[in-house]
Amino acid sequence: MIVLAVGCHPDDLEIACSGTLRKYVEQGADVYMCHVANGCQGHVVIEPDPLKEIRAREAEEAGKIIGAKKVFNLDVDDMEVDSHDPAVIDAMADVVRFVRPDVIITHNADDYMQDHTETSRIATNGSFCSGLHHRARKYEAFSSFVPVFYMDTLAGVGFQPTHYVDITAQIDTKIRALECHESQLKWMFEHDGIDFADMVRTCSKYRGYQCGVAYAEGFKPYNVYPRYSTRNLLPD
């Protein structure tokens, strides 16, 4: 199994699906992570250029904890993520061609902010373009119709999962990976009074209550022709 997880900002995958990604790794899958935006606006003190370098390093460290084979960074500035930008679509297509995934995990198409919803479209449109043989590319063309699962929204607001993954054994790894994003957790605690690691643990516990385990992550498939699969694509 080869898994590609596409998030917007460098901590989004750790928040929403890193327990599942770790479980994939433990079951022998090759996991790749990609963030589209560089997180340059995610602080009130640190300036954008140094911040995006900090956040790229934090994402690399989190990827190591999860066990990802590689962490890709498309380096788009925050609030400039645009699913109609051909360069970004081609960059995403090349990630898909390089990884050649069996499944893609990304943001819900109706997530809470523009960068997230645009990233969702970049993931699906980029995977479609990965199969276009005459589109500019670095790598050999790949299937245009990789199955996609949407991951949970922040705090689960407006998202009703159809699939759950038990991450009880992975919850501590999930939180350790999230805590690599020190620039964000420290800023949110000092600026907004939010203990974000505790919030993410609590949301995982809430999803666990819904499906009868201690901790879980929720997903639902991107149900369009022809992205269906007869395979069980989420880890047991």
Per-residue pLDDT tens over the stretch 46-75: 999 999 999 999 999 999 999 999 999 999
Output the pTM of the full model: 0.97
The per-residue pLDDT for 188 is: 87
pLDDT tens digits for 139-170? 999 987 999 999 999 999 999 999 999 999 99
Give the sign of the dihedral formed by CA 216, CA 110, CA 85, CA 56: negative
User: Percentage of residues in the chain with pLDDT exceeding 90?
Assistant: 91
What is the average per-residue pLDDT within 1-13? 98
Confidence of residue 190 (pLDDT cuts 50, 70, 90): confident
What is the average per-residue pLDDT within 110-137? 94
How many angstroms separate the CA atoms of 115 and 82, rounded?
A: 8
What are the CA-CA distances from residue 204 to residues 19, 26, 101 (Å)? Answer: 9, 19, 26
The per-residue pLDDT for 191 is: 82
What are the CA-CA distances from residue 231 to residues 43, 102, 152, 185 (Å)? Answer: 42, 10, 21, 37
The domain defined by 2-221 folds into Rossmann fold (3.40.50)
Where are the chain's structural domains?
2-221
Residue 223 has pLDDT above 80, yes or no: yes
